[in-house]
Amino acid sequence: MSTRQAPPPVLGDRRFRRQVALVAVLTMLLVFGGRLVYVQAVQGPELAEQARDDRTRTSLIRAPRGDIVDSDGEVLATSVERFNVGVNQRLVRNYERTDPETGEVLGSGAAEAAEVLAPLLGRDKAELGAELVGESTFVYLAKGLTPQEWRAIDALGIPGVEPEETTERIYPNGTTAGNIVGYVGADQDGDGQPDGLAGLESTFDDVLKGTDGSLTVEIGGTGQVIPTGLREERPAVPGETVHTSIDRDLQYFAQQKIDEAVAKWGAQWGAVVVEEIGTGRVLTIADSGTVDPGDYQKWADADRGSRAVSAPYEPGSTGKLPTFAAALEEGVVETDSLFTVPDRLTMPNGQTFSDNDPHETWQLTTAGVLANSSNTGTVQIGDRIADDVRYGYLRGFGFGRPTGIELPGETGGVLREPDSWDSRTRYTTMFGQGMSVSLLQNTSMVATIGNGGVRMDPRVVDGRTDGDGDFLPTETVEGERVISEETAGEVIAMMEGVAADGGTGVLGQVEGYRIAAKTGTAQIVDGSGGLNSRLGSYVGLAPAEDPRLAVGVVMYKPAGMSYGGVIAAPVFRDVMGFGLRQLGVPPSTTPAPNLSRGPGQE
């Protein structure tokens, strides 16, 4: 059987296969070419941007929080530069420590980095070394380092050890004005900056913070900045500086004096306010046991603010001044109008009132009633004025409404409208009971009298300096006239009698100066409605012939003696004397008026 051989391939088949192969090659070239075109033309910009993102790093530039300064520009609160230090664990493994003379490698890697870094951070080297090992690009090693501490670390040249610039809030004067300045806490609103929690730090938190900036740079494979690479910087805008009206030296002195008095008399707390007459500028708000803003956690919440601003109390006999001012202004009495003043008196509506101490029936002038702080004489004077008219004067002097001072937590006190007064309250409000005020309000009332009867809103901030260095003064409103200048002068003359020999405020006399004052003592209602505690207060101005300062003092719940003319007057004397000397006010050279107090009262 014969075997047949396959026919030889024909030329056309070979050509066909070559064409198929060529088409396949061309197809592949077209696919790869298209892919190349797609990558370069379409995806190119996106991939390049991704690559650049991988090589760039953005760091935050913290905006320094603005300063708070006193009236002379002395710093009460400021921010200092600090550094948090972290490590890129992937880079620190490249560290080599060499002999500076021979260049010999003495050690390398994370262990050697920990060896030289631990002493500068005050850390255990084994514990620190463990934190340097891993794959994280940033792990905190220490926080709050000073610039000097960071420079020492940076000089080691350890790759991957990187700074994070931040700030720390400091209060160089300790407790001085701590109740006014306030303090900051942690970042609570997510903006990366601490938040003001009390005082001016809270009120002006937004302007003190400023605006953070940023710095974006391009880095190489070992973490170094590429000099010719991308660099974009958005500068930080510093916070504004808040200029207060506080006199730091006077503030410190007043705090010392009120602390001493509280300790001496066993009071629960005490406070002092000093206001510059004619401007409303408050030079001092001193509270006993003032908080240290740099260590505020050691103080109870109730002790971290200012009770002079936030704690209402019955003004007692210091609250008689609006009654006398209203009576003189309305023309229902004159300073020498005569009254029969027993130690106990029943008014036409059946309500009975008594003076603090028993005494024989006196014949007292209006000035004598004030000098002796007689309740029975005061209700006779106040009874000559319609309730709604007298209420209007109380409101005019600022009672029953916040002053608007730039501090959080201010009380407006309590002053109910006349139609809600009962038959007794209508009289007690004549001598400072049945209503409440803050010490700031009470001092402002005296400053109004000293300013010729024109009330100025108290303020503790003179203005702000913005990031460009421009000073923005606090907007002030025109004063509100409460009583005439003539009436104000008559009230001051009668208040001088209070501080003169024989008056209730003699212990408040300031050597070399004429002062005008009023003492106050009031009962405090406890939780069960009892009246087992008292307070003493003293308010006044000086020099009486040309008033410059108004000072108010309150001592809350002293353990024993409670007369304001005894426990509060010496604080007034010392603080007023220091303040007048601080301002360079010359001593008085003219004699005080000698108003008649009544027969047998001269």
| pLDDT digit string, tens, across residues 457-505 | 999 999 999 988 899 999 988 999 999 999 999 999 999 999 999 899 9
> Where does the pLDDT of residue 234 fall: very low under 50, low under 70, confident under 90, or very high at 90 and above?
confident
pLDDT given for residue 527 in this prediction: 59
Q: Does residue 24 have a pLDDT over 80?
A: no
Neighbour-count burial for 347-359, b at 16+ CB within 10 Å, e otherwise: beeebebebeeee
Summarize the confidence of residues 143-148 as an average pLDDT. Answer: 84
Choice among 4-13, 275-284, 366-375, 549-558 with the minimum mean pLDDT: 4-13
Summarize the confidence of residues 376-387 as an average pLDDT. Answer: 97
pLDDT given for residue 189 in this prediction: 67
| pLDDT digit string, tens, across residues 298-325 | 999 999 999 999 999 999 999 999 999 9
Q: Are 306 and 484 in contact (CB under 8 A)?
A: no
Main-chain dihedrals φ then ψ at residue 534, nearest 5 degrees:
-140, 170
| Mean pLDDT, all residues of the chain | 89
pLDDT given for residue 218 in this prediction: 76
Nearest to 413 by CA among 314, 541, 480: 314
Q: Name the active-site residue from 310, 317, 374, 436.
A: 317
Q: Are 582 and 247 in contact (CB under 8 A)?
A: yes
Q: Is 317 helix (H, G, I), strand (E, B) or coil?
A: helix
Q: How large is the C-alpha radius of gyration of the chain?
A: 39
Q: Does residue 12 have a pLDDT over 80?
A: no
CA 450 – CA 278 distance, rounded (Å)? 8
Token pair in block for residue 51: 């690559």
Q: Are 484 and 478 in contact (CB under 8 A)?
A: no
Q: What is the DSSP string of 482-517?
A: -S-HHHHHHHHHHHHHHHSTTSTTGGG--TTS--EE
pLDDT given for residue 577 in this prediction: 98
Amino acid making up residue 47: L
Q: Are 216 and 57 in contact (CB under 8 A)?
A: yes
pLDDT given for residue 469 in this prediction: 87
Task: List domains and CATH numbers for the chain.
Answer: 56-79+166-239 (3.90.1310.10), 248-582 (3.40.710.10)
Question: Taking every pair of C-alpha atoms in the chain, what is the biggest distance, in angstroms?
Answer: 171
Most confident of 112-126, 128-142, 145-159, 550-564: 550-564
| pLDDT digit string, tens, across residues 84-115 | 888 898 888 888 888 888 878 888 888 888 88
Q: Is 317 a catalytic residue?
A: yes
pLDDT given for residue 143 in this prediction: 86
Beta strands in 383-451 (DSSP E): none
Summarize the confidence of residues 331-341 as an average pLDDT. Answer: 97
Q: Does residue 588 have a pLDDT over 90?
A: yes
